[in-house]
Structure 1
């Protein structure tokens, strides 16, 4: 990782792949990842970690399966939301979005329990900026 400032706008402009995050920096043992998203991701859960989302552009929906039943949270631009560990969830962005996530380094974006990973997802643990299809 570089110790230089990172422009999120430039970083997002450097790739087109959907649901395939780029690592912009690290904080302790966590990756700070950005991703372009569109359509539906897979239902999944992270057994040992929460998942933090910040919507940089567009609108993100996150469906959650909770003990009380299923619900969907709507995150407009500038909103944050944390999915608690162990919660089965599915992010989707009907009109596309750009997001920032905090996840422990090496954590797959498809979690520990998930549906089949779509063929268009080229990485689930994040690429360093400027690599593999940037």
Structure 2
């Protein structure tokens, strides 16, 4: 490239986004599912079905799962390495579905009614 030649940057083209529901302003009440379904022009039940289907297919990383459960990433990664928890490996990375996370959270659940005081 010569000293007189100048480099031109390609222009950024703004992608047009379809109008949709916006996040509520600070201090404003969050939108209900009725409002969102009306804004999208679909029945509320169809919106709820779409959300449920997306949640069922969603896979969470070790960090996201640890954050949800309130545990450290290192602790959870140790359980995965020891194969002590259920998970799915995608592209050689451990991923957790909602079912895996529910299983983890109830694995060591304690029922207070089942644990009574010992009587001598």
Q: TM-score, normalised by structure 1?
A: 0.17
Q: Greater RCO between the two (CA within 8 Å, min separation 6)?
A: 1
More helix by share: 2
Q: TM-score, normalised by structure 2?
A: 0.19
**Of the two, which has the highest radius of gyration?**
2
